[in-house]
């Protein structure tokens, strides 16, 4: 899949100002809460998309904020919105593999970026992030749960990655195509370059993150199912995403 082309062609579908896609309910709120009291902290947001998370983290008190994304159209949508909001967010169109930080940050967030990178690329980005963080800096990222494509192989709403009979170990670094639905009924095309749990831990350690990460395995909770049973209940109790939080 040509990630840049897909996001350039779909930037309009991603732009949103309130929770809409499944993971706006099942993942992003947990990322925001994991960021804690932002209180002027400098944030680097890699794979920032059209700025949904950037705007929320700025509302929550983030200071200096740099968002980078591969897709020029996602960045253009983010910049247009910033021209209205004037949050003070800097956006740059850039492949994270070529990104060289020009300053240091207190926090780096990556919300569903690493599902577009293979294990070696991810490890290089982890190293870049560690170098870009202040000594007490933190790194928070969310990814698809490594078991999700195998626990729920049906290619059906509101979320799937097509594992097509592949298995958890052999599928490492293979691209699994998928879709995630918005509550409004529209699907968004997504992709998962599969990694095992061990791959995330190995890459963190190789990049020099030696402390134990906090790990949250995220799912559809019964509370979410009461909000919109038809939308959420097909995924009740299925492992959907994982949030990692680690200190430098
Ligand atoms: C699922 S979207 C998430 C966007 C945003 N983080 C959010 O939570 O709304 C994934 C984003 O990662 C970006 N991306 C994928 N590969 C990238 C790369 N190599 N460098 C920078 N951004 C990349 C895509 O362009 C896309 O905007």
Instruction: Report the separation in Å between the CA atom of 128 and the middle of ligand 1, taken as the mean of its atom positions.
Output: 17
95 lines ligand 1 (CB under 6 A): yes
**DSSP summary character for residue 68:** E
Whether the pLDDT of residue 149 is over 90: the answer is yes
Please write the tens of the pLDDT for every residue from 79-99: 999 999 999 999 999 999 999
Q: Which atom of ligand 1 is found nearest the CA of 28?
A: 8
* pLDDT at residue number 1: 72
Please write the tens of the pLDDT for every residue from 156-188: 999 999 999 999 999 999 999 999 999 999 999
Q: Which domain holds residue 82?
A: 3-145+196-220+239-247
- Tell me, yes or no, whether 166 lies in a domain: no
Three-state SS for 73?
helix
- Tell me, yes or no, whether 58 lies in a domain: yes
- Tell me, yes or no, whether 124 lies in a domain: yes
53 lines ligand 1 (CB under 6 A): yes
Picking from 96, 105, 93, 95, the residue whose alpha carbon sits closest to that of residue 130 is: 105
- Tell me, yes or no, whether 154 lies in a domain: no
- Tell me, yes or no, whether 135 lies in a domain: yes
- Tell me, yes or no, whether 216 lies in a domain: yes
Query: How many domains, in total, are found in the chain?
Result: 1
Instruction: Report the separation in Å between the CA atom of 107 and the middle of ligand 1, taken as the mean of its atom positions.
Output: 17
Percent of the chain surpassing pLDDT 90: 98
CATH of the domain at 35: 3.40.50.150
69 lines ligand 1 (CB under 6 A): yes
- Protein residue whose Cα sits closest to atom 27 of ligand 1: 49
- Tell me, yes or no, whether 230 lies in a domain: no
- Tell me, yes or no, whether 34 lies in a domain: yes
Section 150-155 average pLDDT:
95
β-pair type (89-93, 105-111): unpaired
β-strand partners of 108: 44, 139
């Amino acid at each position: 899949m040509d990630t840049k082309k897909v996001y350039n062609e779909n930037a309009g579908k991603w732009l949103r100002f309130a929770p809409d896609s499944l993971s706006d309910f099942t993942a992003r709120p947990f990322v925001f809460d994991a960021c804690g009291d932002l209180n002027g902290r400098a944030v680097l947001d890699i794979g920032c998309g059209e700025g949904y998370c950037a705007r929320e983290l700025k509302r929550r008190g983030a200071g200096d904020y740099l968002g980078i994304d591969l897709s020029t159209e996602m960045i253009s949508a983010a910049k247009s919105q910033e021209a209205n909001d004037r949050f003070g967010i800097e956006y740059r169109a850039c492949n994270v593999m070529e990104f060289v930080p020009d300053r240091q940050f207190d926090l780096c967030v990556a919300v569903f970026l690493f599902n577009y990178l293979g294990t070696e690329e991810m490890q290089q980005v982890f190293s870049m992030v560690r170098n870009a963080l202040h000594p007490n800096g933190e790194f928070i990222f969310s990814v698809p749960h490594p078991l999700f494509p195998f626990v729920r192989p049906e290619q059906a709403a509101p979320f799937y990655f097509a594992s097509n009979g592949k298995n958890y170990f052999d599928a490492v670094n293979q691209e699994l195509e998928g879709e995630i639905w918005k509550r409004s009924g529209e699907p968004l095309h997504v992709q998962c370059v599969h990694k095992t749990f061990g791959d995330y831990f190995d890459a963190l350690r190789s990049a020099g993150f030696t402390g134990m990460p906090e790990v949250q395995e995220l799912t559809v909770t019964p509370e979410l199912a009461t909000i919109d049973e038809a939308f959420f209940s097909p995924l009740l109790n299925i492992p959907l995403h994982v949030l990692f939080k680690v200190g430098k």
